[in-house]
């Protein structure tokens, strides 16, 4: 597992050097970049964080949808809340993908918040093949950084990742997503690369997909439902 992770990281380093820096479309490993919601191929669950009070901890709030959030290692880390933030107040830029709320890795963007990390983990209860989200950060900085989206298998070994250049503003207006082409993943990490100080990850409209039942399984399920309906009519 460690050797495969090292090989992936080495390949990424060589790609970055050869390109003079990370760029959109730099996918490493058996994964494919998804450049927007339209690239998803299967039914998608979307978490937009709206309709929830500001400062609500999102860690296990959406467990019923098959996803949990964490911003620290090792997992789990219940002592560090992953807050839902209202991003419509000045001096912050408005959210561009849904009306109000985002998920973040800090408790407060008004200047006095506790900072936790430069990454945010998405943990899935079922095998997943596609994931993506709109992202931003809490301040406009230079030089331009990169958002790295990585996915991990059932044993928490790295499958692959994609790098997307950030535009260094405070809007949640860029998309990072990927598809695993073979192995399902159970964890995805959004992480600022070369991040400094208290720069925090901000995500909105997180979307992910689980495998669609195979045709044989779907047929068996349909047959079973049909027999159940027939039995009820007989009664």
Identify whether the C-beta of residue 62 lies closer than 8 Å to the C-beta of residue 114: no
Kind of pairing, strands 174-180 and 84-86? unpaired
**The predicted structure's pLDDT at residue 230:** 46
23 torsion bin: left (phi>0), alpha (psi -120 to 50), beta (else): beta
Q: State the pLDDT at residue 163.
A: 94
Q: Distance between CA 49 and CA 187 in Å, rounded?
A: 19
The residue ranges of the chain whose pLDDT is under 70 are 1-25, 74-79, 90-91, 106-117, 138-144, 194-198, 210-235
Predicted pLDDT of residue 235: 54
The superfamily (CATH) of domain 2-234 is Galactose-binding domain-like (2.60.120.260)
Model confidence over 38-95: pLDDT tens digits? 999 988 999 999 999 988 999 999 999 999 998 877 655 556 788 898 887 766 777 7
Contact 34, 130 (CB under 8 A): yes
What is the reported pTM? 0.78
How many C-beta neighbours within 10 Å does residue 121 have? 24
């Amino acid at each position: 597992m460690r050797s495969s992770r090292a090989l992936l990281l080495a390949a990424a380093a060589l790609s970055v050097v050869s390109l003079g820096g990370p760029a959109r479309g730099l996918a490493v490993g058996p994964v494919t970049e998804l450049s927007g919601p339209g690239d998803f191929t299967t039914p998608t669950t979307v978490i937009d964080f709206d309709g929830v009070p500001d400062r609500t901890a999102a860690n296990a709030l959406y467990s019923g949808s098959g996803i949990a959030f964490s911003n620290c290692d090792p997992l789990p880390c219940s002592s560090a809340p992953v807050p839902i933030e209202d991003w419509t107040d000045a001096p912050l830029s408005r959210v561009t993908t849904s009306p109000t709320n985002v998920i973040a890795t800090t408790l407060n963007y008004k200047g006095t918040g506790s900072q936790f990390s430069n990454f945010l983990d998405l943990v899935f209860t079922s095998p997943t093949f596609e994931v993506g989200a709109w992202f931003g950060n809490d301040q406009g900085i230079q030089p331009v950084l990169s958002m790295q989206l990585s996915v991990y298998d059932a044993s928490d070994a790295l499958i692959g990742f994609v790098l997307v250049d950030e535009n260094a503003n405070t809007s949640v207006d860029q998309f990072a997503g990927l598809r695993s082409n073979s192995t399902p993943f159970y964890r995805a990490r959004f992480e600022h690369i070369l991040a400094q100080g208290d720069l925090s990850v901000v995500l909105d409209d997180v979307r992910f997909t689980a495998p669609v039942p195979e045709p044989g399984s779907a047929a068996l399920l349909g047959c079973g439902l049909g027999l159940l309906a027939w039995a009820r009519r007989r009664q």
